[in-house]
Chains A and B, each alone.
Chain A
């Protein structure tokens, strides 16, 4: 029974194999078809050869443009994604160098005026403090990161002070505003860090180091602010400046005299009479000259 079954299976396998052979043999290209297909292949190759010979062929340029545009969009999307992702990176993250070296540099380039530069410096130093707090909350603050972030904060806070000092020479009011902004931000973060230090005794020593740096910078920026305010105060006490007086007299001159119909002011008329009065020695000279002329 099983022998019959095996023989039957073998026969079926042979039939299948012969079926494949038959199918293979049955499916062929006729000689005419083969020649025609060869000609089609040759035509296809020749038309491509022609296209390659013409460097400015429309299809080729279009294809290259499409390729370039595709690559450009790809790069823009990828870069945009990285930059966006890096914005929330913290020290120790893979994208943190991108945040510092790319994102913040780009922001720095957009700040053109002294005021914008000072504001950006303040914002950048504040970002470092925020990062420190986030690291503490996430439990990721260690000695190495603390040292790294504190050094960067110190450097950027110093830069902010320098920018404010530079701004002071041009716009005192803006300098006061920016310095008080930095000072209040530093005081605010100081309080936050103090609270955190009370809650987290395990990293208290590290937070103390950060707090000292923040206090030091806050004191330094406070000094700068007071200095600028003092300068502003002195300037106010001294009264209107020469230029201010000049502009006031200009304004007065601009007002027409209600009595004088020609719009000429009284002071201007007096001045013209004074001009005619010559000094003594010149008067004598003048009289001599006129006498000779009369004679």
Chain B
């Protein structure tokens, strides 16, 4: 069993590698920057608690995403649902000030958010994991505790729905025609 310092160091190393993608994952599911940061913090603290209890983590990435998924679900249950339109009206923008210069197409980013907002939850989760977190169906299956086949089917349906939303003009897509 690793010492307390080693456990702490392992979690901090994992933080350096996975903080960014985990934040993105939480952000695209909670639509709130501060909530997403809190969720990331909870995720790493819970991971440390798990190791401190004497458990061993084989696949750190999958484990952290699984914890983050649970944290997000807890937070989504506790809070009232947010309307994306209201958030946009309040000046909501996925951009980060520091990286604004690197963003080529903010409009497309906004439309992705609109599309994700209209996807119902089991589909939205897999779409975020596949296209935002860049995870393969096998990894998604590990995180969600389901079979790879079930995840692939869900992903296929989710993409179909997303494409329909995108193509049918339900999202503002007139300028792509």
Contact = CB atoms under 8 A, between A and B. Distances in A.
Contact of A48 (B20, B45, B108): B45
A41 B96 contact: no
Interface in A213-240: none
Given A15-B173, A22-B108, A37-B41, A28 B15 contact: no
Nearest to B94: A26
Interface in A255-280: none
Contacts of B96: 26-30
Interface in A1-53: 8-9, 11-13, 15-20, 22-31, 33-34, 37-38, 40-42, 44-45, 48-49, 52
B132 A20 contact: yes
B41 A26 contact: no
B37 interface: yes
Q: Which of B41, B97, B113 has the most CB of A within 10 A?
A: B41
B59 interface: no
Contacts of A19: 105, 108-109, 111-112, 115, 166
A44 B166 CA distance: 42
Interface of B: 4, 8, 11-12, 15-16, 19-20, 23-24, 27-28, 37, 40-41, 44-45, 48-49, 52, 94-99, 102-106, 108-109, 111-113, 115, 131-132, 134, 162-163, 166-167, 173, 176-177
Given A26-B94, A41-B12, A41-B15, A33 B37 contact: yes
Given A22-B105, A23-B132, 14 more contacts: A8-B177, A16-B115, A22-B106, A22-B108, A26-B109, A28-B98, A34-B20, A37-B19, A37-B23, A40-B41, A41-B11, A44-B48, A45-B8, A45-B48
A40 B15 CA distance: 11
Contacts of A11: 176
Contacts of B49: 48
